[in-house]
Amino acid sequence: MRYSLLARFAAPLLAAVLIVPVAPARAADPYDIQAILPLTGQAAFIGKGDVNALNAIQALINRQGGIAGRPINFVVQDDQSSPAVAVQLLTRVLTTNVPLVVGSTLGGICNAMAPLVKDGPVELCFSPAFKATPGGFAFSAGVGTPDLMRAGMRFLIGRGYHRVALITSTDATGQDADQNVNSVLALPENKSVTVVDAEHFGINDITVSAQMARIKAANPDVVIAWTTGNPFGTVLHGAADAGLAVPIFTTNGNMSFDQLKQYAPIMPKELLFPGLPSLTPDQLPNGPLKRAVDTFRDAFAGNPQQPGAGENQVWDLTLIMMNGLKRLGLNATATQLRDYALNLKGYTGIYGPFDFNANPGRGVGIDGVIIQRWDPVKSAFVAVSAPGGAPMR
């Protein structure tokens, strides 16, 4: 009796099972990574490069299968080049308990954000002006301002330039430069250098004609102009209007192809930068650094925007953290992700070998600097020093 009941209902039940439609397999949900960057405002041109790099990294990681089988997705929010806005955005992000936040890209903005992440999550600041606390959760991208200045002074002295004029903006970027110029010039190796004039200006000033008149009267061999974005254009206009015919040395934050092409009518006699190995790949010897640079440049093949300073400063730190998530899994904590970076061994990026013990908070130092000049005819950078800043002979 029991067998016959089972037989009576088994066939219809089997048929019902067989005709249930099978839902197509759904692709894994993307793993979102929050980014806070300047898409508008003073630093928008740098933010554009940062986003360009994040898009290239996202495509690269996803071509490799993503992380733990999930594609990554950078979710970018606009801090409007404002520390206050960046803090508001970060405060909201922190409520989601994420292990990693990407951005921002100006030293002043990163300084405002850093106290919020003293206990995590990991934050990647893409400004070399930001001084990360050793062992902390905030990291700084690229070579720090002290090493940029040291390499620059090494080059300028090697060129025979000993009379230096300085013009800096009054924001965090300029204040960082003022502090580091003084400390670098106090080193015995730079005792032959004299600052013949030091000028300042506000980032919203529309002219620096008075400052440039005083600089010209001081008869410098070279001008160090430390500011980024639109204020740098103001400096170049002032120098051109004053007829200042000496080289200008500026931060690598201004190594943007689009930006420099716009300044063609007001280019100085020579424009120099504490530059980036990836911008002169043909001048690099074969080895791990060149291979890292080739991978970087291949990631932008076909991209209408050539990778400049923004792309460079995003690349290494972000890839290190993506490798950390691959190793640790997507449930990794901020502490695990930070410790992965701090204990990293054998990684060579586009700045060179990384060592967070030797270079706390950023991983790279003075050997990651190659002095480069802008060639306005070819719209290209040319290396004029060895790594570390010694002039090429």
DSSP E strands: which ranges in the chain? 31-37, 72-78, 100-102, 122-125, 138-140, 163-169, 194-201, 222-226, 248-250, 271-275, 348-349, 352-353, 370-375, 380-383
Question: Across residues 16-21, what is the average pLDDT?
Answer: 42
pLDDT tens by residue, 299-346: 999 888 889 888 999 999 999 999 999 999 999 999 999 999 999 999
* pLDDT at 7 > cutoff 80: no
| Percent of the chain surpassing pLDDT 90 | 84
Domains, the chain, ranges and CATH? 31-143+289-366 (3.40.50.2300), 145-278+370-383 (3.40.50.2300)
Q: What DSSP line would sit under 88-110, residue for residue?
A: HHHHHHHTTT-SEEE---SHHHH
The confidence band for 27, taking pLDDT boundaries of 50, 70 and 90, is low
| Percent of the chain surpassing pLDDT 70 | 93
The confidence band for 11, taking pLDDT boundaries of 50, 70 and 90, is very low
What pLDDT score was predicted for residue 186?
95
* pLDDT at 348 > cutoff 90: yes
Looking up tokens 């060179």 gives: 352
pLDDT tens by residue, 144-162: 999 999 999 999 999 999 9
Give pTM, 2 decimals: 0.83
The confidence band for 229, taking pLDDT boundaries of 50, 70 and 90, is confident
Q: How far apart are the first and last CA of the chain?
A: 102
What pLDDT score was predicted for residue 12?
45
Is the peptide bond preceding residue 169 cis, with omega within 30 degrees of 0?
A: no
What pLDDT score was predicted for residue 157?
97
pLDDT tens by residue, 208-224: 999 999 999 999 999 99
pLDDT tens by residue, 62-79: 999 999 999 999 999 999
